[in-house]
Structure 1
Amino acid sequence: MIRTLAVALAATFAMAAPAQVWRSDQGDGTYRNPVLFADYPDPDIIRVGEDFYFVSTTFANSPGVTILHSKDLVNWRIVSHVVDRLDGDPRYDLKNGGDYRHGFYAASLRRHKGMFYLAVTPVGHKTRIYRSASITGPWTYRELDREAFDPALFIDADGTAYLGTSIGTDGTVTLLTLNDDLSAVTGAKVTYYNKGAEGSKIVRHNGWYYLFNSIPGKLAMTVSRSRSLWGPWETKPSIDDRTGGHQGAIVDMPDGSWYGFVMVDAGAIGRMTNISPIFWKDGWPWWGTPDRPDVVPDRSPKPILGHPFAEPPASDDFSLPKLGLQWQWNHNPDDSRWSLKERPGFLRLHSTQADGIWSARNTLTQKAQGPKMRAVAKLDTAGIKSGDICGLGSFGKYNAQLSVVGGARGAKSLRMLFTESTEGGPKTDVRVPSVPIKGRTLWLRTDMDFDSKLGRVAYSLDNRKWTEVGGSFPLAFDWRTGTFQGQQIALSCYNPAPTGGYLDVDSFTLQPLPAGVQP
């Protein structure tokens, strides 16, 4: 019986393997870090019974504030987005230059009295407390009377709710006391000062309060403990980006053990999440194992055995009536300019008026995946009109788009546009101005290699013979001038003029970069 089950599981993994860019679960009772080789920053993970829920930052992307679910802390699926559309600021509609790098930052998730509560602060706005009876929503929110940066929601043993908040330019950790339904602040008191601290998380265990703080300037984490929420606190250094990460905390397991989750800056792919066993020594949580304390292991036994492989979706044939949860718009979309119903089985992107991809509304994105990936989109270009610029490519600090350009009398050509986001605004270089094409069916391809930090684009008229265009382009993460996210994959369609046509996307496929391919 055991051998039969093992064979069946092995067969399942063998069938799944060719479609996966990265698989943390090794199929032998172990896992590799990161658990998600993609940009899921500012993690907060809770356990409810046998279920784990993971909330992540999404900035100005819409829908926003992604929640994932797992049974074992290794295999994750997206279950919802808390914010269907971003509200409260016209820039979320890509007006006045948009709100790249801002939007919704680190959120904090807790379960309390049969409800899920999520605290999040849109940059420059007051903190919101979202609530829902179900992790999949619908979510409603109440706004507090202040802006609490990187709020840390904590429910004490007596049911009192608090928000911890600290911003790294200062490091003063303040606790806000909330009322019974978590809708208003009833008190505020400084509890601790930790120079450079932000991204706080609070955990209670065995009569102690533990305060985890990120020190972004050092890409490091500290752990503090106290018998009282109000201190005094003892502090010790913990892990950093060389040994595993710098922002996160710990979560208890059904068997009473503990695991840690932590964000690590990983270059062009963005900020990834590592999972680590936790052991206790002298009343302190230590990451890793006693023989290698405060080192997150690259590979480790799975926290919980017996659950099948799972991952966030990526490829899409657009046959469902709703977009898959892997997709996000660069800002709130104009819903009159896209459709899954006008031509069933296709995503139709009507061109929007813009002078470049950075200002183009309705750019549809999903997270790039490492370490090496290939994205292929099958397109029907029959609806493209003069002036339309519609295609596939990378999006972020560097935007390399291979686009179909509509010309006079129905002519079409391919153009490779490379746009860099800079402090002075986006700067676009037309690497390849015109490659004439005929026919209506076209395949576009984007390769990204996060080891070499390079990408390439190519096209095909038959999905067999491919022609590269424009040479390699760089991949990078830059919180100052990019999107504050790792490189994304983007489908876009825009036109400098107010009128235009549309692009029909038949399918999108994400897969590993074939062995031996060098962008």
Structure 2
Amino acid sequence: MTHYSNPVLDADWPDPDAVRVGDDYWLIASSFNRAPGLPVLHSRDLVSWEHVANALPAVPPAGHYALPRHGSGVWAPSLRHHDGLFWIVYPDPDHGIFVLTAADPRGPWSEPWCLLPGQGLIDPCPLWADDGRAYLVHGWAKSRAGVKNRLTVVEVDPALRRAVGPARTVVDGDELPGFRTLEGPKLYQRDGWYWIFAPAGGVATGWQTAFRSRSVWGPYEHRVVLEQGDTPVNGPHQGAWVDTPDGHDWFLHFQDRGVFGRVVHLQPVRWDDDGWPVLGDEGRPVLAHPTPVPGAEPGEPVRSDDFSAPGLAPRWHWQANPVDGWAVADGAGTLRLPAQPSARGNLRDQGAVLCQQLPGQPSTWETRVALSGDAPGTRAGVAVLGREYAWAGLLRTPVGVEVTVRRGGTYGDEEILAQEPVPGGATSVVLRTAVDAEGAVTWSWRPDPPAEGDGAAAAEWHEAAAPWQARVGHWIGAEVGLFSSAPLGADLRPDDGGTFGPVRVAVAGKDA
């Protein structure tokens, strides 16, 4: 009997929702300001996942998200299959609730349309009910709407184009002892009951609640069905109830791990004699369990990239809606990022930072970085990006090219942590970014090609600076990114910028 260990997705896949159609499971997650957004993952066994697509090439409104809008954009989405189509319903807390559809989750997806305009409407989930009607449940963001801790249901037309009735609060968390930040609802039907699975208590400290009623409008009774207890799994909540073809039930949910983001766990589900779900081990998260499909081998999405196929793989995303020309990926084994003008030289301002999530276990990222261009201040490198960031790479100065490590935040100039000339006037190095179990980052480099000399000594790695502690992002974990930029007004040629060789990633000693 094979077992899996939690988390099954040990990286930042926030607010997951999932459905099963036939023998296939599909999972989506929040993507916030990142583009392309709405990542789509596929599995046949719930423990081995592949990142196959992104449903949202750019975040609407396109002009608004032409700049990084950290913490805005796509919040907790829902995924459903109805009438031969896959439906994603997602909230933008500043603009409303949007819908897009596809016949195949791998795409193409439709252009999104706005179902409910407004600020502060979050975490929507539709239900096409047995009575032939369609309903939508959602939560509220106090930062935009002035209220939170309540769940609202509204009847909508079956095409999810408009509301057809008034919205009603069906659960008011302020009336439930101890409840705070009730959000993330998912609406289901089972055995004559309407069910709302919803977390409360906060992202890092909360729990999962199940509500049920004979009417979609309530009144709802509730039970806490998953909480940390004596386990190390803090805040186990918000996710998806799915079943298997042989009739077993499972629950996918997240755990907030700070700089590593919201990682995804899988819990078995049984139903007690009173018809309530019992998640995990009698309401506590399991750390390991037999796999849903006997013999299944757990596995996570690939992170390494040899750039041998034209275009960018789904694993990559930008910090804002991309512009043609930000990347040149022709399938020849390298990725070229033309230098983008940057007014402040601050990477939190730069949309053209090409990122992946930071894995939840120690990882190393290795790539060759080459810099072209004579304009002083032109630079290219590898960043670890959160509310604060640091990067290592190559910088063009008036006297040559130097290896540098710098850190920055939302405000102020970058601080130089290390800087030294590249030997022999070279314009390329091999750069290694190592992240430990606490999120401390160490950069090291070696000449490319190695300097003349004896074997290992010629290819020796040089530690570029003391370890730097990565920081969380806005609602997300830290990210690893590639970038190239130059001062605003620099005299740039089309070929100026950074060229990156294959990116090789190893996570906890395994190839990734």
Give yes or no for TM over 0.5.
yes
Residue deviations 1:40-79, cap 9 Å, x none? 0001111111111111011111100111011111100112
Taking the aligned partners of 1:240 and 1:427, their CA distance within structure 2 comes to 43
Query: How many angstroms does 1:159 deviate by?
Result: 3.9
Q: 1:295 to 1:513 in 2, by over 3 A?
A: closer
Query: How many angstroms does 1:89 deviate by?
Result: 4.8
Match of 1:177 in 2: 155
Counterpart secondary structure, 2:348: helix
Match of 2:441 in 1: 455
Counterpart secondary structure, 2:271: strand
Match of 1:353 in 2: 341
Residues 467-482 of structure 1 mapped to structure 2, 5 A cutoff: 467-477=462-472, 482=473
Match of 1:144 in 2: 115
Counterpart secondary structure, 1:273: strand
Q: 1:65 to 1:315 in 2, by over 3 A?
A: same
Query: How many angstroms does 1:380 deviate by?
Result: 2.7
CA contact (8 A) 1:334 1:361 kept: no
Query: How many angstroms does 1:93 deviate by?
Result: 1.1
1:194 aligns with 2:173: yes
Query: How many angstroms does 1:216 deviate by?
Result: 4.0
Number of equivalenced pairs: 472
Match of 2:10 in 1: 37
Q: 1:387 to 1:55 in 2, by over 3 A?
A: same
1:229 aligns with 2:178: no
> 1:299 corresponds to which letter in structure 2?
A
Match of 1:239 in 2: 226
> 2:306 corresponds to which letter in structure 1?
D
Taking the aligned partners of 1:297 and 1:490, their CA distance within structure 2 comes to 33
Q: 1:434 to 1:356 in 2, by over 3 A?
A: farther
CA contact (8 A) 1:384 1:502 kept: no
Match of 1:20 in 2: none
TM-score (norm 2): 0.87
1:130 aligned to which of 94, 97, 100: 100
Taking the aligned partners of 1:444 and 1:513, their CA distance within structure 2 comes to 19
Residue deviations 1:186-238, cap 9 Å, x none? 11232222233110112222222221111143522221111221112111123
Counterpart secondary structure, 1:54: strand
Match of 1:405 in 2: 395
Unaligned runs of 5+ in 1: 1-27
Match of 1:4 in 2: none
Query: How many angstroms does 1:267 deviate by?
Result: 1.7
Q: 1:145 to 1:260 in 2, by over 3 A?
A: closer
1:295 aligns with 2:284: yes
1:387 aligns with 2:358: no
Taking the aligned partners of 1:427 and 1:45, their CA distance within structure 2 comes to 42
Query: How many angstroms does 1:257 deviate by?
Result: 1.3
Match of 2:455 in 1: none
Taking the aligned partners of 1:283 and 1:360, their CA distance within structure 2 comes to 51
> 1:483 corresponds to which letter in structure 2?
H
Match of 2:428 in 1: 441
Residues 41-440 of structure 1 mapped to structure 2, 5 A cutoff: 41-94=14-67, 98-140=68-110, 141-147=112-118, 148-167=121-140, 169=142, 170-187=148-165, 188-195=167-174, 196-217=181-202, 218-241=205-228, 243=231, 244=233, 245-281=236-272, 282-289=274-281, 293-307=282-296, 310-341=299-330, 344-354=332-342, 355-383=345-373, 385-408=375-398, 411-421=400-410, 425=411, 428-437=414-423, 438-440=425-427
Query: How many angstroms does 1:398 deviate by?
Result: 3.0
Counterpart secondary structure, 2:325: helix
Taking the aligned partners of 1:154 and 1:426, their CA distance within structure 2 comes to 48
Query: How many angstroms does 1:246 deviate by?
Result: 2.0
Query: How many angstroms does 1:296 deviate by?
Result: 1.3
CA contact (8 A) 2:369 2:393 kept: no
CA contact (8 A) 1:107 1:118 kept: yes
> 1:257 corresponds to which letter in structure 2?
H
Match of 1:18 in 2: none
CA contact (8 A) 2:389 2:471 kept: no
Counterpart secondary structure, 2:122: coil
1:510 aligns with 2:512: no
Q: 1:453 to 1:142 in 2, by over 3 A?
A: closer
Counterpart secondary structure, 1:127: strand
Counterpart secondary structure, 1:166: strand
TM-score (norm 1): 0.86
Q: 1:513 to 1:405 in 2, by over 3 A?
A: farther
CA contact (8 A) 1:161 1:177 kept: yes
> 2:8 corresponds to which letter in structure 1?
V
Taking the aligned partners of 2:446 and 2:324, their CA distance within structure 1 comes to 30
Residue deviations 1:138-191, cap 9 Å, x none? 222321242431101222123422210112642221112111212111112322
Q: 1:460 to 1:384 in 2, by over 3 A?
A: farther
Residue deviations 1:340-372, cap 9 Å, x none? 13x832111111111221122311001111210
Taking the aligned partners of 1:31 and 1:399, their CA distance within structure 2 comes to 34
Taking the aligned partners of 1:59 and 1:114, their CA distance within structure 2 comes to 28
Unaligned runs of 5+ in 2: 143-147, 175-180, 451-458
CA contact (8 A) 1:398 1:474 kept: no
Q: 1:514 to 1:427 in 2, by over 3 A?
A: farther
Counterpart secondary structure, 2:108: coil
1:486 aligns with 2:477: yes
Counterpart secondary structure, 2:239: strand
Taking the aligned partners of 1:241 and 1:469, their CA distance within structure 2 comes to 40
CA contact (8 A) 1:352 1:361 kept: no
Counterpart secondary structure, 1:199: coil
